[in-house]
Structure 1
Amino acid sequence: MAPRTPSPRIRPVREAAFGAATAWRGLRTWSTSPRLMAWGLLPGAITAVLFGGAAIAIALQIAEWSSWLAALVVSEDGAAHGALQIVAALAVVAASVLVAVYAFTAVTLTIGQPFFERIGRAVDERHGFTGAEPDEQWARALLRSVGEAVRLAALTLPFAAGLFLVGLIPVIGGITAFVLGATIGGWFLALELTAYPLARRGHVSLAARRAVLRQHRPRVVGFGAAVFVLFLIPLGAALFMPAAVAGAALLVNGPEFVARAQPDDVTTHRGERPPGAER
């Protein structure tokens, strides 16, 4: 009897689950390269200090902001004001978290680029991928990555505004905003975390990364959403960053993520196919 083909409705769910499991697999890298992974904690600690002041400022002001928003709808003396203030506070948190998690990731990856590149190379080598480094000068690569990070950060702002409006819906708004935030934020995180491993596979620009990841969207979103949730744990973004980088390399570890070399390309700057890619 021929094996059953997964239903079109089930396949995306399986792909998303596989992506989420890949994020967890990144944690196993601690058992194989503990010293290398430990170095990856340093950039996150630096970024946590930089972002700590902003987080405290938002926490101190959120009561005042939510009270002002609630007062736009009902009187401050009414019983409904307190309920609306809670809803408004959740909406502000949902919008702020999306921007904060992505910004934290982008800044940490920029600060710790040498450490995270070493983690990515180690994971690739352990799983049989031997592609060459991107043929791009360090300074130019840094400027490009910063520019792309700023572009993606700008894209998170309208989504954050949308999450704020969704969060204002009574009862279901908070839960819906959280799910949408993890999904949208997960996609942005995956785009950022896979920048280096995809560059080693010939996809250097942001447009190239988006194109190849879009072909595996459920898997990529599953991975990114799992990382997003882990980063919501207090100090989770700093502690889980090395594992997220390792997981991103695992996520794109397959021949389907390697750019095809041009017929007249005799160099290896576009990256090499991993073993078994010819099959």
Structure 2
Amino acid sequence: MGFRCLLEGQRWMARHGRQYGFGLLPGLIALVLYAAALVALAVWGEDAVTWATPFADDWSSPWQGLFRGFLTAVLFALGLLLSVLTFTAVTLLVGQPFYEHLSEKVDADVSPDGTAPQSSLPLWRDLWISARDSLRVLVRAALWGVLLFVLGFLPFVGQTAVPVLGFFVTGFFLTEELAAVALQRRGIELRPRLTLLRTRKPLTWGFGTPLALAFLIPFAAVFLMPGAVAGATLLTRELLGEGAGDDSASDAGDTVP
């Protein structure tokens, strides 16, 4: 069901070309920032590991190289994981006005009465809440990242089960960030949002985990992001048991913010 919402969101966006074009801009801005950060990590990551492991300076070859090479690879993998987790938050923050408009349009398009829930807060307040909640989610995700980093040292488990667990964790938080646009508009705060997603984990993972895997493809996050926001709005309606109308409604009134 979660994966179906993801596909339906991409299909909805494909029918609204003008909205899609504007939806690419926040992702492109975020992509440039993250690409620069990952390049810096790739260039100076080994130096950082060497600085952090002075106890290995006297190790004989090849153990020193293998140990530090492994840590460098894990450090880059952790950076990549955090990039996937935070890319959505940064892109949503940059494109908040557009994504709010997009989410409202999806709601109205599939609602039986053609209306969408409206936020009663001014834009600056919505932006502040979004930034605050994104930071709180990032802290939670970072704690999970540290735990997975430590578990990565376990023989066999660290090379098999931990990466799989990492994608499920990423998928969960990715879904929360995307669904937050529609849920926050309905007045649902962060803690109730997390509780709601935990009670429907198969639905949450079905949406977020495939998307997290897709986001690992270079530039895929930029092109999938608008449809992911649309799909997360459909997911929100599923989570809350809200009715849906004809999702193939016409494009009448398809305007850009």
Which range, TM-score by smaller chain? 0.7 to 0.9
> For residue 224 of structure 1, what is the aligned residue in structure 2?
208
**Partners of 1:91 and 1:166 within 8 A in 2:** no
| CA-CA distance at 1:136 after TM superposition | 1.3
Instruction: Please show how residues 100-119 of structure 1 align to structure 2 within 5 Å.
Output: 100-119=83-102
| CA-CA distance at 1:170 after TM superposition | 4.1
Secondary structure of the residue aligned to 1:153 is: helix
Larger fraction in helix: 2
> For residue 131 of structure 2, what is the aligned residue in structure 1?
146
Give the Cα separation in 1 of the matches to 2:73 and 2:151: 10
| CA-CA distance at 1:57 after TM superposition | 0.8
Q: 1:89 to 1:168 in 2, by over 3 A?
A: farther
Give the Cα separation in 1 of the matches to 2:221 and 2:187: 26
Q: 1:168 to 1:121 in 2, by over 3 A?
A: same
Q: 1:197 to 1:132 in 2, by over 3 A?
A: same
| CA-CA distance at 1:215 after TM superposition | 2.0
TM-score (norm 1): 0.77
**Partners of 1:167 and 1:176 within 8 A in 2:** no
Secondary structure of the residue aligned to 2:237 is: coil
| CA-CA distance at 1:19 after TM superposition | 1.7
> For residue 209 of structure 1, what is the aligned residue in structure 2?
193
**Paired residue type of 1:41:** L
> For residue 163 of structure 1, what is the aligned residue in structure 2?
148
Cα offsets for 1:59-118 (capped at 9, x unmatched): 112233455667746955323344334432332133222322222111110110122122
Instruction: Name whichever of 109-118 and 72-81 sits farther off.
Output: 72-81
Matched pairs, number:
243
| CA-CA distance at 1:212 after TM superposition | 2.1
**Partners of 2:89 and 2:177 within 8 A in 1:** yes
Give the Cα separation in 2 of the matches to 1:251 and 1:162: 29
TM-score (norm 2): 0.83
Q: Does 1:274 align with 2:243?
A: yes
% identity of equivalent residues: 32
Q: Which runs of 5+ in 2 are unaligned?
A: 246-257
Q: Which runs of 5+ in 1 are unaligned?
A: 1-17, 259-272
Q: Does 1:97 align with 2:56?
A: no
| C-alpha RMSD over aligned residues | 2.4
Instruction: Please show how residues 176-215 of structure 1 align to structure 2 within 5 Å.
Output: 176-200=161-185, 202-215=186-199
Secondary structure of the residue aligned to 1:40 is: helix
